[in-house]
Amino acid sequence: MKPNEQNFSKSRRLKNQIKAVVTNPYNVIVLVAIILLTYLIVFPLVDMLATTFKLAQRDLRSVPGGVAGEFTFYYWQRLLASDMSMNLLIKPLMNSLVIGAGVSVCAITLGSVLAWLMVRSDLPFKPFFSLAVIIPYMIPSWVKSQAWLSMFKTPRVGGAPGFVASIMLKAGMSTETIETVLAPIAYGQIAVIIVLTLHYYAYTYLLVSAALNSINSELEEMGEIQGASKGLILRKITLPLVLPAMLSAVILTFSKAIGTFGTINYLGSPVNFRTLSSELYSNNRSQNTQTAFAMAILMICIASLSVFINQRLIGSRKSYATIGGKGGRSTPIGLAGWKPLITLVLIVFFIVGIIMPVMILIVESCMMTEGTYSLSNFTLYYWIGEGNPNIMEGVPGIFKNSNFKLSLWNSLKLTFVNGVFGTIFGQMLGYICAKGRGTFHGRLVEQLVFIPYLIPSVAFGGIYLSMFSKDQTIFGVTLIPALYGTFALLTLTSVVKHLPFASRAGTSNMMQISGELEEAAAIEGAGFFQRFVKIVFPLSKGGFISGFMLIFVSIMKELDLIILIMTPTTTTLPYLAFQYQNQNCPQASDCVAIVMFSIVFLVYALANIFGDADLAKSMAG
Amino acid sequence: MSKIVLTNVDKFYGKNHVLKNLNLTIEDGDFMTLLGPSGCGKTTTLRVVSGLEKPQNGSIHMDGKEIVNAAEAYFAPPSQRNLNLVFQSYALWPHMTVFDNVSFGLKIRKESSDVIAKKVASALERMQIGEYAKRYPTELSGGQQQRVAIARAIVSEPRLLLLDEPLSNLDAKLRVDMRSELKRLHHETGTTIIYVTHDQVEALTMSTRIALYRKGELVQVAPPLELYDNPCNLYTADFIGNPSINFIKGAAQVTEDGMTVDSAMGQVTFARADMTPQAPKSGRVEVTLGLRPEQLTISRTRDDEHRVEAHVYSGMPAGSETLVTVRVGGALVTVKELGSTHYGSDETVYLSFNAKKANVFDTASENLIKYCV
């Protein structure tokens, strides 16, 4: 027993403790953050889970003696253990897993090879390649699917033939032959995997190249001095060091691929290829909310499992890259005789995989009827046409179209508002995560913020739609009025869904600011807000800009997330394109996609030139 | 210019007990060095004093005023403690010029701009970096950054200056220069300084007092020379001094008059008057002789009957001095000799030492039982 333990005042202790908590703005911010995150993330999740156990009015007939709103296992039983399970769950689930695994393997391989070539080899034209390589990130996957269809569409399934089919027709092949040859490529599993690979390899590329950049080439040179061959060095030194980055790319790709919906809708639906996410969408659309949510929960479980496995695999290796990241010297590795061949392959890859889709879209947007490749068929109608009752039911070209103007305005408004709020919240949460490393509240915030990442976009939109369609009340006081059909709901959904990315960007940004810089200011007497304004903010400006850009790009092309929330007045560009495509007017859809892509590209270029911002910086960390 | 008293301070990081019931008094005007191997709690002590860390137990008083009372959860914020800190990393704000870095605290305290200009100029002048006021930290060398960090810390004339391994990032020559400058700074300002280092030479050359740590506990607090001459136990003896002290195992017969020690260094008798209170009163004890390399003399001839025979293991002449490692019995002993002499390997030499200067430790308790006088 220490002497000072007997004589102290308990009331003074309590007073001091309360004072310390209340007068520290950091604590207040953490508290507000935790309350908000719980309300916006945990509540919806619990609400979703509860919904799957509650009998809906419309299903009363299927459940003898059931009472609406009562507890039931009906939906889970129907999904997991009934005659319908096979069609409702097992098949789509298998398809989802095949897509997820296939895309992961292909995208990781492609992305890692490209990253290595770009960072560590003496490949020529690097500046050009390194720009070309991230363009796919800026083209949404549904636009790529559209391009894929324009290329390979067969004449039988809905409307005009694609580019390849037209050539084959001209060559005198029969429709049946074309169908048998082209259909397996044009639609279904293979098509989805290829298109998604071309989309998601960018994630691997960004993460792995960041990791490779941080490896001191002396580590590889040491291997060379020991007499190891290039292949051995790659396998025994380089690969293990970037493995953590590759594994995080795997979960990112896997969970995105199984959650994707747009591509499945474009490329899968013609041959009735369904995945969990497309089932989820159609169930949600047809008011089968309970089944849709049960599926969403299964998808969350799959995503959580993949994250868990990933964490077990990475374990203590997580910090490799930073340990090696001290010395910045990097000597490129010679490709020797392979150089011309590899360069050629890459150029072909970029032409076929990146430039061609864009070109196809541009060409197709200027064709009166698709699939007819003659000069007389070219027109700017879909861009600037006045509205001809014979074409597209009289809908005018997009620049004359009030729908388009509204969508453009909505998209810009949404991305801008989201970019601003998302970045601010992201950086604040990042600050909490970075400063609270190892503490309970730090971990809690980190975990809470991560949850939206696990929820498939379509399902996330569904939850918010059902939750905020009615007034949100607490003890009879209306906190938030019903938001259905409002811009606010769109904003809220997008901001929360993108929090994991935004706060990750924020965390890695804040981690770069040494705690001592703030402590030095604290010793000088600067309060919390003074420190934030004078030290933290000026030092993290670059991160703010790249965080903003990341959110901007990602929301501008977002379709899956907001597709369920859309109402005629809140339409955005991706949704408009989606609508045109479903109305069988791909040209107009192409026009919209091109406009959207141009905006994304422009913003990226501006941010790069003025902000010195880097996508990879906010992705890694 | 202030006295700091730490009483029963405990600090945990999770389950890791970093400071264990620490009691330390730093007198007004002291240059107190916290010394110890890395991870022993010296920087934590500094951070607890600065207010950046909150200890779980104990209290801290500054000039009689309570600044920490863990039992009542009272922790005065760092800015109210009238102290300043120089970080090991310097922690200069990279987006501010040298002037802005140094004037930051004064601006926070809303001093008038002419006062700020005058104080900053004087601090920069004192650190001899007046011409760099408009530069950014990245445009300065490591030594200059170090000076900016110190200028920033002294500009507000704190009563207590905390320095956390400030010289560890400098090259060897600059480090020696900065040592004398810090000592001069202490002399001119009279500020109480707490200085953290793991470098015993820095500690011995600069401090008025040294607090030696081991695993979160204080081992000995004493002026540098006392620490060097009479380390309280084997740990301190081994930590302080470069080259290290020689330990030679032996057995002692203790009587009321003193003790007689038999070891590889021959038989030596010590008087009771030179022995510490911890020394046993009588009986046989296992002891360890502590002999500083410079207390041993080496000779090629046996000119004295007390000299013991030894064989040269290696000789290392270094200009002003020569270090010779010799084998005596089973032990390797280092001898420091002024001037430069060449000894061949395996050459037979003879050693002797002044018994008055030798330390004797109880091997079992590791405590000092005979002073160096």
Q: Which residue has the higher pLDDT, B201 or A211?
A: B201
From A453, A489, A452, select the one nearest A471 (Cα to Cα): A489
Closest Cβ–Cβ partner in A12, A17, A522 for B78: A522
Q: Output the pLDDT for position A320.
A: 46
CA distance A92 to chain B (A): 47
Residues B248, B251, B255, B260: what is their CA dihedral angle, to the nearest 10 degrees?
Answer: -60
The nearest alpha carbon in chain B to A12 belongs to B72
Assess whether pLDDT exceeds 60 at residue A3. no
Kindly state the percentage of chain A with pLDDT values over 70: 92
Pair of tokens at residue A276: 């969990």
- Chain A within 8 Å of B158 (Cβ-Cβ)? no
Q: Output the pLDDT for position A105.
A: 95
Whole-Å CA distances, A438 to A225, A432, B14 = 40, 11, 10
Q: Cα(A526)–Cα(B100) distance, rounded to whole angstroms?
A: 14
Considering all CA atoms of chain A, what is the largest pairwise distance in Å, rounded to the nearest integer? 101
Q: What are phi and psi of B328, to 5 degrees?
A: -120, 120
Mutate to test the interface with A, among B46, B57, B74 (most CBs of A within 10 A): B74
Whole-Å CA distances, B25 to B7, B186, B192 = 8, 18, 12
Pairing status of strand B160-164 against strand B16-26:
unpaired
Kindly state the percentage of chain B with pLDDT values over 90: 66
pLDDT in tens, A470-510: 887 777 777 778 888 888 899 999 999 988 888 888 887 88
Q: Cα(A324)–Cα(A172) distance, rounded to whole angstroms?
A: 61
- Chain A within 8 Å of B8 (Cβ-Cβ)? yes
* Chain A residue numbers touching B93 (CB-CB < 8 A): 517, 520-521, 535, 539
What one-letter code names the amino acid at B269?
T
Q: Which residues of A438-460 are buried (b: 16+ CB within 10 A; e: fewer)?
A: eeebbebbbebbbbbbbbbbbbb
| Contact assessment for residue B52 and residue A519, using Cβ atoms and an 8 Å cutoff | yes
CA distance B78 to chain A (A): 5
Q: Output the pLDDT for position A325.
A: 36
pLDDT in tens, A38-54: 999 998 899 889 888 98
Pairing status of strand B31-35 against strand B246-255:
unpaired
- Chain A within 8 Å of B74 (Cβ-Cβ)? yes
Q: Cα(A20)–Cα(B110) distance, rounded to whole angstroms?
A: 25
**Residues pairing with B22 in the sheet:** B9
| Contact assessment for residue A344 and residue A117, using Cβ atoms and an 8 Å cutoff | no
Q: Output the pLDDT for position A322.
A: 40
Residue written as token pair 């002048």: B125
Q: pLDDT band for position B326 (50/70/90)? A: very high
Highest mean pLDDT among A394-403, A597-606, B188-197: B188-197
Cα-based angle B188, B191, B192 (whole degrees, multiple of 5): 135
Q: Output the pLDDT for position A319.
A: 44
**Residues pairing with A367 in the sheet:** A378
Assess whether pLDDT exceeds 90 at residue A141. no
* Chain A residue numbers touching B21 (CB-CB < 8 A): 2
List the single range of A7-16, A381-390, B338-347 with lowest mean pLDDT.
A381-390
pLDDT in tens, A194-223: 999 988 898 888 888 888 877 777 777 777
Q: What are phi and psi of B336, to 5 degrees?
A: -110, 125
| Contact assessment for residue B353 and residue B297, using Cβ atoms and an 8 Å cutoff | yes
**Domains in chain A with CATH codes:** 31-50+398-621 (1.10.3720.10), 90-327+351-381 (1.10.3720.10)
Assess whether pLDDT exceeds 70 at residue A616. no
B19 CB neighbour count, 10 Å cutoff: 26
- Each domain of chain B, given as residue ranges in start order, spans 4-232, 239-370
Highest mean pLDDT among A265-274, A284-293, A531-540, B208-217: B208-217
- What CATH number does the domain located at B4-232 have? 3.40.50.300
Q: Cα(B137)–Cα(B133) distance, rounded to whole angstroms?
A: 10
pLDDT in tens, B288-322: 999 999 999 999 888 888 889 999 999 888 888 99
Residue written as token pair 């039983």: A77
Interface of A with B in 525-554 (CB under 8 A): 525-526, 530, 534-535, 538-539
Pair of tokens at residue B216: 């979160």
Q: Which residues of A285-300 are buried (b: 16+ CB within 10 A; e: fewer)?
A: eeebbbbbbbbbbbbb
Interface of A with B in 503-522 (CB under 8 A): 514, 516-517, 519-522
Average pLDDT over residues B77-84: 89
| Contact assessment for residue A243 and residue A112, using Cβ atoms and an 8 Å cutoff | no
Average pLDDT over residues B187-195: 92
Mean residue pLDDT of chain A comes to 82
Q: Cα(B313)–Cα(B344) distance, rounded to whole angstroms?
A: 9
Residue B256 burial (C-beta neighbours within 10 Å; 0-12, 13-18, 19+):
exposed
Residues A259, A262, A268, A272: what is their CA dihedral angle, to the nearest 10 degrees?
Answer: 90
| Contact assessment for residue A496 and residue A41, using Cβ atoms and an 8 Å cutoff | yes
Average pLDDT over residues A300-305: 88
Residue B90 burial (C-beta neighbours within 10 Å; 0-12, 13-18, 19+):
buried
Three-class secondary structure of residue A318 per DSSP: helix
Average pLDDT over residues B88-109: 91
Residue written as token pair 């091109």: A594
Q: Cα(A244)–Cα(A253) distance, rounded to whole angstroms?
A: 14
Cα-based angle A557, A561, A567 (whole degrees, multiple of 5): 95
Which residues, including other chains, have CB under 8 Å from residue A28's CB and lie 6 or more apart? Answer: A22
Which residues, including other chains, have CB under 8 Å from residue B289's CB and lie 6 or more apart? Answer: B246, B247, B248, B249, B250, B261, B263, B265, B358, B359, B360, B361
Q: Output the pLDDT for position A35.
A: 92
Kindly state the percentage of chain A with pLDDT values over 90: 11
Mutate to test the interface with A, among B79, B80, B82 (most CBs of A within 10 A): B79
Alpha helices in A125-188 (DSSP H): 126-132, 135-138, 141-152, 163-170, 175-186
| Contact assessment for residue B182 and residue B163, using Cβ atoms and an 8 Å cutoff | yes
List the single range of A359-368, A404-413, A442-451, A588-597 with lowest mean pLDDT.
A359-368
- What CATH number does the domain located at B239-370 have? 2.40.50.100
Closest Cβ–Cβ partner in B71, B73, B104 for A5: B71
Q: pLDDT band for position A564 (50/70/90)? A: confident
Average pLDDT over residues B349-362: 92
Average pLDDT over residues B256-271: 91
Question: pTM surpassing 0.90?
Answer: no
Three-class secondary structure of residue A71 per DSSP: strand
Pairing status of strand B31-35 against strand B209-214:
parallel
Q: Output the pLDDT for position A4.
A: 46
Interface of B with A in 96-125 (CB under 8 A): 104-105, 108-109
pLDDT in tens, A229-276: 778 888 888 888 888 888 888 888 888 888 888 888 888 888 889 998
- In whole angstroms, what separates CA A391 from the centre of its chain? 35
The nearest alpha carbon in chain A to B104 belongs to A524
Q: Output the pLDDT for position A468.
A: 85
* Chain B residue numbers touching A3 (CB-CB < 8 A): 8
Q: pLDDT band for position A337 (50/70/90)? A: confident
List the single range of A210-224, A311-325, A546-560 with lowest mean pLDDT.
A311-325
| Inter-chain touch B79–A3, beta carbons under 8 Å | no
Q: Output the pLDDT for position A329.
A: 52
Q: Output the pLDDT for position B261.
A: 93
